[in-house]
Structure 1
């Protein structure tokens, strides 16, 4: 393996790792700030709901960007925009009575950049990594991603325990994480394949319609997307209640919320490590069976 390929492999793993650390710390700080300020999750739900709409817009735009533009440039520009938004917002935010419109705007833009960045990174992987190592690389990448979700609550818990810490510091940490991710994305050695270079330019509407047609023509893909969407919907509601529970029932233990996030992330890390040593290919039936198990566990809970 050449040094260029090694550098690209490492960069494709570390870039989402660092950006996820910052994003998780930002969300942790946001959740805690809103719940502590208002005593309810209603406002948090509104912010997260509008932020979720950014993911929808990003999902509609990303196919057009990834198919018709250099994917490395998509990674770089989304990181630059996210960094600038965080830096500027850290100076504008009122830490005592935070402006709701500003929190909505920050969350919306960051979610939009994430919705464009992550698929662009994933679409580069098959072009630079041999198919025989693709599943192992994805498992390692997901493990690093899970590790970020463990480190972030630890850092967030320490920050929450510090007297005088402001939300603007959480935003600046997020800015630093995006800047580090930008550095690693610049190290990626990538040239678009001829199919990407020669792809005929399409309008947003035509590209979206063709994408929906492709999904409808592949029933397994449609089933998988539907089941994953339902799962994420349920999971979002579950995660939304956790800062409220932590604040109202475990308010004397400042590390309770970060401890919950650490335990959840450990589960993801264990799953990722297990996938790295697994040689059997993942099947759709197995994914559906696992989701049934998750449902049973949540019902019992």
Structure 2
């Protein structure tokens, strides 16, 4: 495909600004994630505490996302996104100050991680909802979503690599400070945008009424609901495989952190390649069928990895897992964004955020408990099997929906 078509959504000035600022900020975000994990382990030497801090940082997405969605549908999404970016910058600054000035404590890390999790619930929902307003040609929306995914994964590769160097040279404080500075780029990009947002209609009901109407809409939109439910099962039951990778690298491959890093890098490479493929897709592609295929690839790769004892094979399977994971996420996002009613956009996207991010910490806890009692390989096999079962159920649902649509079309013609 020609580069002009692959990057066609970048023709929109507002999206170009968003893409540039967000990319710089995401590099800082991934640096912060690596630095927090290193800081927590350095302070506690506890794998359990690592899991707890991760849980605290992600669980707000499950609790607050529906409220954030209802709020975004009632108020200016741009303003909510801008406020969330400023709040994230202040959180990073507080983390940097705590470490640089020697005030570090686990209480401080937990409080700031929880604060970032709450901010992210509003940030992710408003950012995803605003995406359609950044594109001049709405047919470029799937391309914009895919390019956003490729940006996230490239930052996922670059950020931890930079963090590893800086941790060796100057420690965690510098990583947090660079993350603090990276928000300047995204804030400037937001200020430079020229948005023509439709005025928000005055809402008669409360935010709770908005939550209920969003839920009722999703119940009626069975195609969107099915895609989100598949993502929820995959996110809770398959995606937490990553929690067990350090154990698998050490006990199965009898290796050190270099192999663990290589496994993670392969996941990133696979995800990045899939994001580029998604960006090149034509607008008329059957996204739900592709989502079904990608979830099958993801779950199948994890199931095979559970029985793998050959490192090159394991690295290849991690590439497939990364591609399948990214394909599932990107397809769900694309389908929801292109099929949801505009007045329900933020509320429905909030359920997507719940399925994508909010279920992962619950799954991580269950996976850790299972691994402790059943072993790592058995747990990974169970995860892959559940993912494949969900994919089969989704495929049967798609067939049933198509048969129903075909029957209704015959009735209309008759």
Tell me the TM-score range normalised by the shorter chain.
0.7 to 0.9
How far 1:257 sits from its partner (Å)? Answer: 5.2
Q: Which one has more relative contact order, counting CA pairs under 8 Å at least 6 apart?
A: 1
Q: What residue is the counterpart of 2:321 in the other structure?
A: none
Structure 1 distance, partners of 2:192, 2:250, is 42
The alignment status of 1:178 with 2:183, answered yes or no, reads yes
Q: What residue is the counterpart of 2:19 in the other structure?
A: 13
The alignment status of 1:204 with 2:211, answered yes or no, reads no
Structure 2 distance, partners of 1:243, 1:176, is 31
Structure 2 distance, partners of 1:258, 1:156, is 13
Q: Which has the larger radius of gyration?
A: 2
Q: What residue is the counterpart of 1:66 in the other structure?
A: 72
Aligned Cα root-mean-square deviation (Å): 2.7
Q: What residue is the counterpart of 2:173 in the other structure?
A: 168
How far 1:79 sits from its partner (Å)? Answer: 0.8
Instruction: Report the TM-score, using the length of structure 1 for normalisation.
Output: 0.85
How far 1:10 sits from its partner (Å)? Answer: 0.7
Indicate how the Cα distance of structure 1 residues 15 and 74 shifts in structure 2: closer, same or farther if over 3 A, else same: farther
Indicate how the Cα distance of structure 1 residues 170 and 246 shifts in structure 2: closer, same or farther if over 3 A, else same: farther
Structure 1 distance, partners of 2:260, 2:204, is 47
User: Could you report, residue by residue, the CA deviation over 1:90-146 in whole angstroms, capped at 9, with x for unpaired residues?
Assistant: 222489894222112221222222222233222222234222222222222222222
Indicate how the Cα distance of structure 1 residues 299 and 288 shifts in structure 2: closer, same or farther if over 3 A, else same: same
Structure 1 distance, partners of 2:185, 2:250, is 32
Structure 2 distance, partners of 1:268, 1:148, is 12
The partner residue of 1:134 within 124, 137, 141 is: 141
The partner residue of 2:86 within 68, 80, 83 is: 80
The alignment status of 1:223 with 2:232, answered yes or no, reads no
**Which residues of structure 2 form unaligned runs of 5+?**
1-10, 306-414
How far 1:170 sits from its partner (Å)? Answer: 2.2
Q: What residue is the counterpart of 2:162 in the other structure?
A: 155
The alignment status of 1:294 with 2:301, answered yes or no, reads no
Instruction: Report the TM-score, using the length of structure 2 for normalisation.
Output: 0.64
- The alignment covers a number of residue pairs equal to 291
